[in-house]
Amino acid sequence: MEPVIVVNLKTYPEASGKSALNIAKIAESIVRETGRKIIIAPPQPDLALICSSVSIPVFSQHVDNVKPGNTTGFVPPEGAKAAGAKGTIINHSEHRLVHADIEELVERCKALGLLTIVCTNNIRVSRATAMFHPDYVAVEPPELIGGNISVTDANPEIVSGTASAIRSVAKGVGILTGAGVKNGRDVAKAIELGTDGVLLASGVAKAKDPRAVLLDLVSGITD
Protein backbone atom coordinates (compact mmCIF):
# COMPACT_ATOMS: atom_id res chain seq x y z
CA MET A 1 0.00 0.00 0.00
CA GLU A 2 1.28 3.46 -0.91
CA PRO A 3 2.56 5.35 2.16
CA VAL A 4 0.37 8.29 3.13
CA ILE A 5 0.46 11.31 5.41
CA VAL A 6 -2.97 12.31 6.70
CA VAL A 7 -3.23 15.84 8.08
CA ASN A 8 -6.20 16.55 10.35
CA LEU A 9 -6.52 20.32 10.77
CA LYS A 10 -9.08 19.89 13.59
CA THR A 11 -10.59 23.31 14.41
CA TYR A 12 -7.36 25.17 15.11
CA PRO A 13 -7.83 28.87 14.30
CA GLU A 14 -4.42 28.82 12.60
CA ALA A 15 -5.81 26.25 10.12
CA SER A 16 -9.38 27.37 9.52
CA GLY A 17 -11.00 29.33 6.69
CA LYS A 18 -8.44 30.91 4.37
CA SER A 19 -5.63 29.35 6.39
CA ALA A 20 -7.07 25.87 5.80
CA LEU A 21 -7.17 26.57 2.09
CA ASN A 22 -3.58 27.80 2.16
CA ILE A 23 -2.37 24.63 3.89
CA ALA A 24 -4.31 22.45 1.47
CA LYS A 25 -2.76 24.24 -1.52
CA ILE A 26 0.70 23.87 0.00
CA ALA A 27 0.08 20.15 0.45
CA GLU A 28 -1.12 19.91 -3.15
CA SER A 29 2.06 21.57 -4.42
CA ILE A 30 4.25 19.21 -2.39
CA VAL A 31 2.40 16.20 -3.77
CA ARG A 32 3.11 17.47 -7.28
CA GLU A 33 6.77 18.05 -6.46
CA THR A 34 7.47 14.80 -4.62
CA GLY A 35 4.90 12.31 -5.86
CA ARG A 36 4.05 11.41 -2.26
CA LYS A 37 0.49 11.02 -1.00
CA ILE A 38 -1.03 13.57 1.39
CA ILE A 39 -4.65 13.63 2.58
CA ILE A 40 -6.12 16.75 4.18
CA ALA A 41 -9.04 16.77 6.65
CA PRO A 42 -10.09 20.44 7.07
CA PRO A 43 -12.53 21.88 9.61
CA GLN A 44 -16.07 20.82 8.69
CA PRO A 45 -17.24 24.35 7.71
CA ASP A 46 -14.40 24.49 5.15
CA LEU A 47 -14.92 21.01 3.68
CA ALA A 48 -16.74 21.94 0.47
CA LEU A 49 -14.41 24.88 -0.24
CA ILE A 50 -11.28 22.77 0.14
CA CYS A 51 -12.74 19.89 -1.87
CA SER A 52 -13.47 22.23 -4.79
CA SER A 53 -10.08 23.97 -4.61
CA VAL A 54 -7.45 21.21 -4.62
CA SER A 55 -6.82 17.93 -6.45
CA ILE A 56 -5.44 15.96 -3.51
CA PRO A 57 -7.81 13.77 -1.46
CA VAL A 58 -9.85 15.74 1.07
CA PHE A 59 -11.52 13.87 3.95
CA SER A 60 -14.25 14.83 6.37
CA GLN A 61 -13.05 14.92 9.98
CA HIS A 62 -16.15 13.03 11.14
CA VAL A 63 -19.46 11.59 10.04
CA ASP A 64 -22.50 10.66 12.11
CA ASN A 65 -24.59 7.52 11.78
CA VAL A 66 -27.77 9.43 10.97
CA LYS A 67 -29.86 9.66 7.83
CA PRO A 68 -30.04 12.84 5.76
CA GLY A 69 -33.07 14.90 6.66
CA ASN A 70 -34.20 16.20 10.03
CA THR A 71 -30.83 15.76 11.72
CA THR A 72 -29.77 19.33 12.41
CA GLY A 73 -26.07 19.82 13.13
CA PHE A 74 -25.08 16.26 12.24
CA VAL A 75 -22.92 15.17 9.31
CA PRO A 76 -24.31 12.09 7.55
CA PRO A 77 -21.92 10.36 5.15
CA GLU A 78 -24.09 11.52 2.28
CA GLY A 79 -23.41 15.13 3.33
CA ALA A 80 -19.65 14.59 3.26
CA LYS A 81 -19.98 12.97 -0.16
CA ALA A 82 -22.06 15.88 -1.47
CA ALA A 83 -19.40 18.33 -0.27
CA GLY A 84 -16.86 16.52 -2.44
CA ALA A 85 -15.01 14.51 0.20
CA LYS A 86 -13.13 11.40 -0.92
CA GLY A 87 -13.34 9.84 2.52
CA THR A 88 -13.73 10.43 6.22
CA ILE A 89 -12.15 9.94 9.60
CA ILE A 90 -14.34 7.92 11.98
CA ASN A 91 -14.08 7.60 15.77
CA HIS A 92 -11.29 10.07 16.43
CA SER A 93 -10.43 10.07 20.15
CA GLU A 94 -11.91 13.57 20.38
CA HIS A 95 -15.17 12.40 18.77
CA ARG A 96 -15.81 8.82 19.85
CA LEU A 97 -18.60 6.63 18.53
CA VAL A 98 -20.09 3.38 19.77
CA HIS A 99 -18.87 0.18 18.13
CA ALA A 100 -22.15 -0.55 16.33
CA ASP A 101 -22.17 2.90 14.71
CA ILE A 102 -18.58 2.47 13.55
CA GLU A 103 -19.41 -0.79 11.82
CA GLU A 104 -22.50 0.64 10.14
CA LEU A 105 -20.70 3.80 9.07
CA VAL A 106 -17.92 1.82 7.41
CA GLU A 107 -20.56 -0.06 5.40
CA ARG A 108 -22.47 3.10 4.51
CA CYS A 109 -19.28 4.80 3.38
CA LYS A 110 -18.31 1.84 1.24
CA ALA A 111 -21.69 1.99 -0.49
CA LEU A 112 -21.11 5.69 -1.20
CA GLY A 113 -17.55 5.19 -2.42
CA LEU A 114 -16.06 7.05 0.54
CA LEU A 115 -12.76 5.85 1.98
CA THR A 116 -12.59 5.38 5.75
CA ILE A 117 -9.94 5.91 8.42
CA VAL A 118 -11.13 4.50 11.73
CA CYS A 119 -9.21 5.68 14.78
CA THR A 120 -8.45 3.31 17.66
CA ASN A 121 -6.61 3.54 20.97
CA ASN A 122 -4.98 0.15 21.55
CA ILE A 123 -4.05 -3.15 19.92
CA ARG A 124 -7.19 -5.05 20.97
CA VAL A 125 -9.56 -2.42 19.63
CA SER A 126 -7.48 -2.07 16.46
CA ARG A 127 -7.77 -5.78 15.74
CA ALA A 128 -11.53 -5.78 16.34
CA THR A 129 -12.00 -2.70 14.17
CA ALA A 130 -10.02 -4.24 11.31
CA MET A 131 -12.70 -6.91 11.10
CA PHE A 132 -15.06 -4.23 9.75
CA HIS A 133 -12.61 -3.82 6.83
CA PRO A 134 -12.25 -0.05 6.73
CA ASP A 135 -9.64 1.30 4.34
CA TYR A 136 -7.36 2.26 7.25
CA VAL A 137 -7.12 1.77 10.99
CA ALA A 138 -5.20 4.55 12.76
CA VAL A 139 -3.96 3.72 16.24
CA GLU A 140 -3.43 6.75 18.49
CA PRO A 141 -2.85 6.49 22.24
CA PRO A 142 -5.03 9.37 23.53
CA GLU A 143 -2.53 10.43 26.18
CA LEU A 144 0.04 11.28 23.49
CA ILE A 145 -2.23 13.26 21.15
CA GLY A 146 -1.09 16.86 20.84
CA GLY A 147 2.09 16.17 22.76
CA ASN A 148 5.73 16.59 21.86
CA ILE A 149 6.74 12.93 22.08
CA SER A 150 5.85 10.77 19.11
CA VAL A 151 4.07 7.47 19.66
CA THR A 152 6.91 5.88 17.68
CA ASP A 153 9.27 6.79 20.54
CA ALA A 154 6.93 6.71 23.54
CA ASN A 155 5.17 3.45 22.71
CA PRO A 156 6.59 1.72 19.63
CA GLU A 157 5.13 -1.59 20.83
CA ILE A 158 1.57 -0.38 20.28
CA VAL A 159 2.48 0.52 16.69
CA SER A 160 4.20 -2.73 15.77
CA GLY A 161 1.67 -4.74 17.78
CA THR A 162 -1.25 -3.13 16.00
CA ALA A 163 0.36 -3.75 12.62
CA SER A 164 0.86 -7.43 13.42
CA ALA A 165 -2.63 -7.84 14.88
CA ILE A 166 -4.38 -6.23 11.93
CA ARG A 167 -2.41 -8.11 9.31
CA SER A 168 -3.27 -11.38 11.05
CA VAL A 169 -7.00 -10.81 10.47
CA ALA A 170 -7.38 -8.31 7.61
CA LYS A 171 -4.39 -8.06 5.31
CA GLY A 172 -6.03 -5.51 3.01
CA VAL A 173 -6.58 -2.91 5.73
CA GLY A 174 -4.08 -0.06 5.78
CA ILE A 175 -2.42 0.84 9.07
CA LEU A 176 -1.66 4.35 10.30
CA THR A 177 -0.40 5.69 13.57
CA GLY A 178 -0.46 9.08 15.20
CA ALA A 179 -0.08 11.12 18.39
CA GLY A 180 2.91 13.40 18.76
CA VAL A 181 4.11 12.84 15.18
CA LYS A 182 6.00 15.93 14.07
CA ASN A 183 8.71 15.20 11.50
CA GLY A 184 10.17 12.95 8.82
CA ARG A 185 12.02 10.86 11.39
CA ASP A 186 8.71 10.01 13.06
CA VAL A 187 7.21 9.05 9.69
CA ALA A 188 10.17 6.83 8.82
CA LYS A 189 9.99 5.13 12.22
CA ALA A 190 6.24 4.55 11.85
CA ILE A 191 6.78 2.85 8.50
CA GLU A 192 9.68 0.84 9.93
CA LEU A 193 7.34 -0.39 12.68
CA GLY A 194 4.95 -1.76 10.07
CA THR A 195 2.50 1.03 9.22
CA ASP A 196 1.47 2.57 5.93
CA GLY A 197 1.84 6.12 7.17
CA VAL A 198 0.77 8.59 9.81
CA LEU A 199 -2.17 10.69 10.97
CA LEU A 200 -1.21 14.00 12.57
CA ALA A 201 -2.70 17.39 13.36
CA SER A 202 -1.01 20.14 15.38
CA GLY A 203 2.43 19.56 13.88
CA VAL A 204 1.09 20.98 10.62
CA ALA A 205 -2.01 22.92 11.69
CA LYS A 206 -0.12 25.10 14.17
CA ALA A 207 3.16 25.33 12.25
CA LYS A 208 4.55 28.76 11.41
CA ASP A 209 5.87 27.28 8.16
CA PRO A 210 3.51 24.47 7.05
CA ARG A 211 5.44 23.95 3.82
CA ALA A 212 8.69 23.23 5.65
CA VAL A 213 6.94 20.84 8.02
CA LEU A 214 5.16 18.97 5.21
CA LEU A 215 8.38 18.67 3.21
CA ASP A 216 10.10 17.26 6.28
CA LEU A 217 7.27 14.78 6.81
CA VAL A 218 7.32 13.44 3.27
CA SER A 219 11.11 13.07 3.48
CA GLY A 220 10.44 10.19 5.87
CA ILE A 221 8.93 8.19 3.01
CA THR A 222 11.60 6.44 0.98
CA ASP A 223 11.35 4.10 -2.01
Cα–Cα distance for residue pair 98/78, rounded to 1 Å = 20
Set 140, 143, 157, 192: catalytic member: 140
Residues paired with 174 in a beta bridge: 136
Is 14 among the catalytic positions?
A: no
Name 33's Cβ contacts closer than 8 Å, sequence gap at least 6: none
Cα–Cα distance for residue pair 203/59, rounded to 1 Å = 18
Set 14, 28, 92, 192: catalytic member: 92
What is the CA 21 to chain-centroid distance, rounded?
17
**Cα 193 to Cα 115, 149, 158, 168, distances in angstroms:** 24, 16, 10, 15
> Which sign, positive or negative, has the C-alpha torsion 84, 8, 35, 164?
negative
Is 140 among the catalytic positions?
A: yes
Catalytic residue list: 92, 140
